[in-house]
Structure 1
Amino acid sequence: MFSKKVKVADKAQESSYLVAEFVVKSMKPHTIAETLILPACSAIVKTMFGSEAEKKVRKIPVSDNTISRRIHDMSADIEETVCTSVKEGEMFALQVDESTDIGGMAQLLVFVRYIPDVKKVNQFFCCKELKETTTGNDIFSTLNEYLKSVGVTWQSCVGICTDGVLAMIGSIKGFVSLVKRENSSVITTHCFLHREALVAKTISNDLKSVLEKVVKMVNFIKKSIAEVSSVD
């Protein structure tokens, strides 16, 4: 009897993490697990398998705070896995961008590319708040502190991709210049999306018309694919 109850508890914990994963992927409020998902699952299970099965489903912890903790646990696990893979690899490259969230706070977004085996992996690395200013020194200090905390060194970094703002590519106090003081062999590139945006602002009217038509066609194809996938 004791063993049986332990197994039920373990399955309830596992189910709780699965529910949290669905919540975070759908970008819904955490309360949806307790107000919608659990009642819906309970009703389905009771109808299909009876009251005893429903009682087991009701034991799944899905409160607001529980879902929040589950998401935090999964995020920490993913972070640890990525950092371990980056440290075990010989080289990695970073894509760095500073943006502003809906609250008006500056956020530093960093993506990493590394080769754990043979296949290249692109993964989200970290998001750090820039609390005061957004100078090149602030960006470098924030990212440098994070790399130290996870045990990653600049010596293994082979490339950095940024946009063309002064804080990133300034020759003296820019983020890239500060990184090259740590590792002079780092290769820097300008993000192609930013380059395309800059070109789109200066092209002639004829080319702009062609570009707009191409964008409309691509969006139409993407929309059609999404509609077909939803029907399937």
Structure 2
Amino acid sequence: MPLCVICGDKLANEAMVPNKLKRHLTLKHNHLANKPRSYFEGLLSEQKQQSAMLSKKVKVADKAQEASYLVAELVVKSMKPHTIAETLILPACSAIVKTMFGGEAEKEVRKIPVSDSTISRRIHDMSADIEETVCTSVKESEMFALQVDESTDIGGMAQLLIFVRYIHDVKIVNQIFCCKELKETTTGNDIFSTFSEYLKSVGLTWQSCVGICTDGAPAIIGSIKGFVSLVKRENSSVITTHCFLHREVLVAKTISNDLKSVLEKSCKNGELYKKSTAEVASVY
């Protein structure tokens, strides 16, 4: 894949078009746009030399750190307690490695840091890195749209969940943007102020927002103090839409018995179709 020798970003294969390469250079490295070709060739040569030197200096400790992050990723994806890495994963790996490769290899595996606090730090580091990457991509896109939902978690705390849609490398990207706790009330002003503070902290403004999709809750769409109304005071050109999934749920609650029976049959036939398709695919 194309690799920028200045910032190290990996670009899409489609970015090999000269105009797109020039766009990346002028947007992210405008202060170097007038440098001669020899300057960038020198950067490439330096990077190759540094990579060769680093490859010779790789130690077990570096591999242990990398393994620690990989274990933390597995833990968070499986939504298990952080202690599982120390109480189950590491002992299991040690037993396997000792059986397959002997005691010396087991000693090296035991050096991997996987304590409760370590896994927590690893997850925090990866989360911060992902957040920084998403925010950088949104800034480069220059415009974005939001999906806003406020709900209550299993602990009874109100959570504001926001997804973002933007253009990156000529592709439309959907990403989770942030999840913020609403500590006191859940009014439109609380939602607006909470997310406005987050936008400010990551260097974005409401002027770049082009659309907001909501679930239709009063605190969100209220005409005076609703979240959408407060946003439009900052940017009147924002387009608002009502999530079609929520609209379908609302319709299903008040649908007539005749139409409801048709809907149930359609859903049932759809599930049977998916099941039969999967069975046929498994055969082939």
What TM-score does the superposition give when structure 1 sets the normalisation length?
0.91
Counterpart pick for 1:181 among 219, 229, 233: 233
Give deviations 1:16-70, integer Å, cap 9, x for gaps. 0000000000001111111111111111111111111111111000011111110
**Could you tell me how far apart the structure 2 residues matched to 1:194 and 1:116 are?**
28
Q: Deviations over 1:124-169 (max 9, x none)?
A: 0001111111111110000000000000111110000011111111
The corresponding residue for 1:209 is 261
- Compare 3-12 and 220-229 and name the one that shifted more: 220-229
What is the percentage of aligned positions where both structures have the same residue? 89
Is 1:92 aligned to 2:174, yes or no? no
Separation in structure 1 between the aligned mates of residue 64 and residue 229 of structure 2, nearest angstrom: 51
Paired residue for 2:218, among 166, 180, 198?
166
Shift of 1:103: 1.1
- Aligned pair 1:18/2:75, yes or no? no
Counterpart mapping for 1:10-89 below 5 A: 10-89=62-141
Secondary structure, counterpart of 2:59 in structure 1: helix
Aligned residue type for 1:66: T
Work out whether 1:110 is the aligned partner of 2:162.
Answer: yes
Cα shift readout 1:69-114 (whole Å, capped 9, x = no counterpart): 1001100100111011111112100000100011111110000000
Q: Which amino acid aligns with 1:185?
A: S
Query: Aligned-residue CA RMSD in angstroms?
Result: 2.3
User: Residue type of the partner of 2:127?
Assistant: S
What SS does the corresponding residue of 1:133 show, helix, strand or coil? Answer: coil
How many pairs are equivalent? 228
1:192-221 superposed Cα distances (whole Å, 9 cap, x missing partner): 111010011111112212222333444566
- Paired with 1:86 and 1:44, the residues of 2 have a C-alpha distance of 44
Distance in 2 (alpha carbons) for counterparts of 1:228 and 1:76: 43
Distance 1:218-1:12 versus aligned 2 partners, 3 A rule: farther
Q: With a CA cutoff of 8 Å and minimum separation of 6, indicate the structure with the bigger relative contact order.
A: 1
Gaps of 5+ in 2: 1-54
Residue 225 of structure 1: how far off its partner (Å): 8.5
- Structure 1 residues 50 and 68 mapped into 2: Cα distance closer, same or farther (>3 Å)? same
CA 30–227 in structure 1, closer or farther in 2 if over 3 Å, else same:
farther
What is the rounded CA distance, in whole Å, between the counterparts of 1:15 and 1:225 in structure 2? 39
Unmatched 5+ stretches in structure 1: none
How far apart, CA to CA, are the structure 2 residues paired with 1:228 and 1:153? 51
Q: Distance in 1 between matches of 2:87 and 2:191?
A: 41
Letter in 1 for 2:76: V
Shift of 1:190: 0.2
> What secondary structure does 1:115 align onto?
strand
TM-score with structure 2 setting the length:
0.75
